[in-house]
Amino acid sequence: MHIHKYEKIWLTFGIGCLIVFLTVVGVSAFAAGQQPPSCLTTIDPEKVDTTPPFDHPGLVKKGDDEYELNIVVAAFSFTPNAIEIPKGAKVTINVTSKDVIHGFEIPGTNINMMVEPGYVNSLTTTFDKPGEYTILCNEYCGAGHHMMTARIKVVE
Ligand code: CUA
């Protein structure tokens, strides 16, 4: 009956591994909060124009060299579409869509966000090089998709 004994040992080992595995998965899932980093803030897409901060879109000074840039995205525009940002400033960009899913990409940087109706997507960045940057929509959103652009000018 030696085989029986080994089977028991392996069975115990197997169940033990399963418990360890499930514990690790469970603990890490709950510890991480199981939420994507953005998409935490929801907004009524029909009321974007009257919901702060999107009722006054644009650049807002939040502190010494710290800004918030709130942009309303809709087919087929970014509002505002010409923004001046001081070089080296810490800028938190918040975007939301009034209609369909759009994109928010600034070529030459690592900025690339989805813009979804009902959600506020955010990221914080710093523009270290002065010059002109273009904001593009990189999600196909309809006939005017290719015309959806805006400009950021980073100034010294
Ligand atoms: Cu908006 Cu494509």
| Whether complex ipTM tops 0.90 | yes
* Whether the Cβ atoms of residue 150 and residue 82 lie closer than 8 Å to each other: yes
Instruction: Output the residue whose Cα is nearest ligand 1's atom 1.
Output: 102
Residues of the chain with pLDDT under 70: 1-3, 15, 17-39
DSSP code per residue over 99-123: SS-EEEE-TTSS-EEEE-BTEEEEE
Question: What pLDDT does 35 receive?
Answer: 45
Question: Relative to the CA of 148, which ligand 1 atom is closest?
Answer: 1
- How far apart CA 12 and CA 4 sit, in angstroms, is 12
Question: What pLDDT does 45 receive?
Answer: 96
Tokens of 59: 């650049």
Q: Provide the terminal-to-terminal Cα distance of the chain, rounded to the nearest Å.
A: 83
Task: Note the pLDDT tens digit of each residue in 76-96.
Answer: 999 999 999 999 999 999 999
